[in-house]
């Protein structure tokens, strides 16, 4: 009896480092399976292979086969020759807002975005700030290789776990965005009003984008003193 191939099957077939070098695939399968048969656009930052134009594309091929109705878009700092019937590749820097806006205009909007690019902490934060507002409602934004959040060579910090400059601390702050209704303050930000879940795994994070208008239950406990 035929069983539909899993994401792990495709990861092994194409040799992406998302499995073996890292162990991300079960987490991707958990968060991305609901999108499997949807028609949508996926963006992955980082095609792979670095300066060699002939190398890379392993994860783009994996996504192409796993999502039979999706268009798979990859961006990389370097020229890349990755072909596929539903694969498009752009060359540019993940922190270049003008470039990213062109990619979104031409090939988006995106329902799933994966940051597997430079992994420099400042880049991860900047790219999120540019792209998250363009992510479709109901979409997911994933960030890989968060170990660099602890690496000073990548702008990380393993000693100050409250530093505002690290990617993990930036992503951790989104927990407070999810719960903005519980805090007194001014007008909620765009991210606060559009983030409903943050999921952390070893070196990997998923952010769920939907309208966050769930009210607080704060009135009752304030009046009664009960939780
Ligand atoms: C780890 S590889 C990507 C692997 C691929 N996503 C996979 O899972 O098979 C990272 C890629 O990010 C690219 N990259 C590095 N800095 C970048 C930047 N500032 N903007 C866009 N891409 C960048 C590199 O050239 C490299 O090809």
| pLDDT per residue rounded down to tens, the chain (227 residues) | 889 999 999 999 999 999 999 999 999 999 999 999 999 999 999 999 999 999 999 999 999 999 999 999 999 999 999 989 999 999 999 999 999 999 999 999 999 999 999 999 999 999 999 999 999 999 999 999 999 999 999 999 999 999 999 999 999 999 999 999 998 878 999 999 999 999 999 999 999 999 999 999 865 444 455 55
Q: How many other CB atoms sit within 10 Å of the CB of residue 11?
A: 22
pLDDT score of 222? 46
DSSP 19: B
What is the CA(78)–ligand 1 centre distance, in A?
A: 9
Look at strands 112-115 and 41-45 and give their pairing: parallel
What is the CA(58)–ligand 1 centre distance, in A?
A: 12
**C-beta of residue 169 within 8 angstroms of C-beta of residue 163:** yes
Q: Ligand 1 in contact with 7 (CB < 6 A)?
A: no
pTM of the predicted protein model: 0.96
What strands lie across the sheet with 197-201, from one edge to the other?
Answer: 87-91, 71-76, 41-45, 112-115, 139-143, 204-209, 197-201
- The domain 7-224: what is its CATH number? 3.40.50.150
Q: Ligand 1 in contact with 96 (CB < 6 A)?
A: no
Within 8 A by CB and 6+ apart from 179, the residues are none
Distance (Å, rounded) from C-alpha 217 to C-alpha 172?
Answer: 23
Distance (Å, rounded) from C-alpha 224 to C-alpha 227?
Answer: 9
Q: Report the atom number in ligand 1 closest to the C-alpha of 93.
A: 20
pLDDT score of 184? 82
Q: Ligand 1 in contact with 149 (CB < 6 A)?
A: no
Q: Report the atom number in ligand 1 closest to the C-alpha of 117.
A: 12
Q: Ligand 1 in contact with 111 (CB < 6 A)?
A: no
> Could you tell which of 53, 80, 117 is best to mutate to test the pocket of ligand 1, judged by most ligand atoms within 8 Å of the CB?
117
Closest by CA position to 91, among listed 71, 109, 117, 67: 117
- Domain boundary assignment for the chain: 7-224
Distance (Å, rounded) from C-alpha 215 to C-alpha 164?
Answer: 28
Taking CA atoms only, the protein residue closest to ligand 1 atom 15 is 118
Q: Please compute Rg for the chain using Cα positions.
A: 19
Distance (Å, rounded) from C-alpha 209 to C-alpha 191?
Answer: 9
């Amino acid at each position: 009896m035929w069983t539909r191939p899993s994401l792990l099957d495709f990861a092994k077939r194409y040799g992406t480092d998302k499995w073996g070098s890292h162990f991300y695939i079960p987490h991707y399968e958990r968060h991305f399976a609901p999108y499997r048969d949807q028609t949508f656009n996926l963006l992955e930052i980082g095609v792979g292979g670095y300066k060699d134009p002939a190398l890379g594309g392993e994860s783009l091929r994996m996504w192409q086969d796993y999502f039979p109705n999706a268009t798979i878009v990859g961006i990389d700092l370097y020229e890349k020759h990755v072909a596929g019937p539903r694969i498009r590749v752009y060359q540019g820097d993940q922190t270049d807002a003008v470039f990213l806006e062109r990619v979104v205009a031409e090939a988006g909007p995106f329902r799933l975005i994966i940051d597997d690019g430079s992994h420099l902490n400042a880049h991860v934060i900047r790219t999120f700030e540019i792209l998250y507002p363009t992510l479709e409602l109901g979409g997911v934004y994933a960030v890989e290789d968060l170990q660099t959040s602890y690496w000073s060579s990548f702008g990380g910090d393993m000693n100050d776990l409250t530093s505002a400059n690290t990617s993990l601390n930036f992503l951790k702050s989104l927990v407070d965005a999810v719960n903005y209704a519980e805090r007194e303050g001014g007008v909620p930000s765009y991210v606060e009003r559009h983030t409903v879940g943050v999921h952390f795994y070893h070196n990997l994070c998923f952010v769920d984008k939907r309208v966050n208008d769930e009210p607080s239950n704060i009135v009752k406990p304030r009046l009664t003193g009960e939780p």
